[in-house]
């Protein structure tokens, strides 16, 4: 393991820059994106693209491992679990950097055989880091955390590349479940970097900023 520990602000700026460079994020105020919830917004992120860009992938996984070590501790974990499906490659890459066993958590039991939600070896008492690609409101993380805890292991930390950073209840929702969130960048970091690069026209960036300041109101006005 050979990691460096840049300032958080530099990690956020570089992460945003890389996501823009590989076109993992997009802004479109004229034709908003439809999210899984059915609601619309002018922002879109697809962290799955990261796995196809080796230099970006390696740098971001270094950043994620360093962030976890700095924030949670160097001997805080015994196991790294990726969440199905987008979190699985990131979980494997972070586990490799931390020198830890890797497992993954299914969204639901597979319905045959052992009917397991945990794949790989996870044992009672292990301290597990849950790794995912991103989080919006934190809801999907709770199910994964509960599945980990059902094995007798503990899970008090989750790490993601991208955190929306626009829903104020997210961090508290996770904290109420005994989970601390670690992330590399948010929509605010991407907006700042997009402005610095002139990556989108100012009208689009202004509309994105309006959305980020009050996403619920923006969605109600653009339903």
- Residue 52 — pLDDT band, cuts 50, 70, 90? very high
Residue spans per domain, the chain: 8-221
8-221, CATH topology level: Rossmann fold (3.40.50)
The DSSP code sequence of 116-153 is -SEES---TT-EEEEEEEEESSSHHHHHHHHHHHTTT-
pLDDT band for position 1 (cuts 50, 70, 90): low
pLDDT reported for residue 113: 55
Question: Global pTM?
Answer: 0.94
Residue 79 CA, chain-centre distance (Å), reads: 18
Helix (H, G, I), strand (E, B) or coil at 82: strand
- The pLDDT of residue 137: 79
Residue 151: phi and psi, rounded to 5, are -80, -10
Q: From CA 95, how far away is CA 69, in angstroms rounded?
A: 12
End-to-end distance of the chain based on CA atoms, in angstroms?
Answer: 48
Residue 5 CA to residue 121 CA, distance in Å, equals: 30
99-154 confidence digits (pLDDT tens): 999 999 999 887 665 668 999 999 999 999 999 999 987 778 899 999 999 999 99
- Express each pLDDT in 156-183 by its tens digit: 999 999 999 998 888 999 999 999 999 9
Question: Average pLDDT for residues 213-222, to the nearest whole number?
Answer: 90
């Amino acid at each position: 393991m050979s990691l460096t520990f840049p300032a958080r602000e530099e990690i956020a700026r570089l992460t945003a820059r890389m996501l823009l460079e590989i076109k993992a994020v997009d802004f479109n105020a004229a034709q908003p994106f439809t999210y899984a919830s059915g609601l619309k917004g002018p922002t879109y992120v697809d962290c799955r693209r990261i796995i196809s860009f080796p230099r970006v992938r390696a740098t971001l996984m270094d950043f994620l491992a360093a962030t976890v070590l700095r924030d949670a501790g160097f001997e805080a974990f015994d196991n790294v679990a990726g969440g199905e499906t987008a979190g699985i490659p990131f979980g494997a890459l972070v586990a490799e950097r931390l020198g830890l066993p890797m497992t993954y958590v299914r969204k639901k039991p597979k319905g045959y055989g052992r009917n397991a939600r945990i794949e790989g070896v996870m044992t009672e008492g292990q301290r597990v880091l849950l790794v995912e690609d991103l989080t919006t409101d934190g809801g999907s993380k709770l199910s994964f955390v509960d599945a980990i805890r059902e094995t007798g292991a503990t899970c008090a930390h989750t790490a993601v590349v991208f955190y929306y950073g626009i829903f104020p209840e997210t961090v508290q929702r996770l904290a109420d479940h005994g989970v601390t969130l670690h992330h590399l960048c948010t929509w605010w970091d991407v907006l700042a970097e997009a402005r610095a690069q002139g990556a989108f026209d100012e009208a689009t960036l202004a509309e994105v900023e309006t959305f980020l300041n009050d996403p619920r109101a923006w969605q109600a006005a653009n339903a």
